[in-house]
Structure 1
Amino acid sequence: MDGAPYLRKVDLRNYSAYKELSLALEKMFSCFTIGELNHSSNWMEYVLTYEDKDGDWMLVGDVPWE
């Protein structure tokens, strides 16, 4: 991983599944918060997305990891 916290590159070869990638991204961005956090729950609501080569936004996990 390199770059600014909000413009990082991630080498997907370092992860074997979406779950590992999700945990790494959660750790990478844990220093950022939006609004108030509800400390009674230990989860944050977000959806992982990426922009494909055609410029379309895709949900991470919609295609097989391989």
Structure 2
Amino acid sequence: SSSGDAEASPMSLTDSGFQNSLYSCMQDTTHELLHGAGQINSSNQTKNFVKVYKSGSVGRSLDISRFSSYHELREELGKMFAIEGLLEDPLRSGWQLVFVDKENDILLLGDDPWESFVNNVWYIKILSPE
């Protein structure tokens, strides 16, 4: 029994050491990210990819940090899915843009302030008039 414990000891020390160094590394990175976030004026410094889905099309990934407004995002989505001009006026065209946030709530694109949207969007759905 004691020889079994002796064999297990080095392994658990190694695992523990690895976990500690990994945890320490994650702590440092998290601290740097949180500390650095206050010093960066533009959200364009980090990429923020979200999936965009439209029925009848393959879902696509889009870096929303490239945009600074809903207008720019709508234009790009129109080009991406070959429906230019249809996303700007949902009442006229019938096309709707909604997004699902990280709490799994479905919201109309444009209802939240831009920064709040960028920080909370999980994915975007383009709903056709049908």
Into which bin does the TM-score normalised by the smaller protein fall?
0.5 to 0.7
Equivalent of 2:82 in 2, 11, 30: 30
What's the C-alpha RMSD, in Å, of the aligned pairs? Answer: 2.4
Aligned length: 53
Q: Deviations over 1:12-39 (max 9, x none)?
A: 11011000000000001117xxxxxxxx
CA distance, structure 2, for counterparts of residue 55 and residue 64 of structure 1: 18
Structure 1: 5+ residue runs without aligned partners?
32-42
TM-score between both structures, scaled by the size of structure 2:
0.36
TM-score between both structures, scaled by the size of structure 1:
0.65
Which has a greater percent of helix? 2
Partner in structure 2 of residue 64 of structure 1: 113
Equivalent of 1:53 in 88, 91, 102: 102
Higher radius of gyration, 1 or 2:
2
Structure 2: 5+ residue runs without aligned partners?
1-48, 52-56, 84-91, 116-130
Structure 1 residue 54: Cα displacement: 2.0
CA distance, structure 2, for counterparts of residue 45 and residue 25 of structure 1: 15
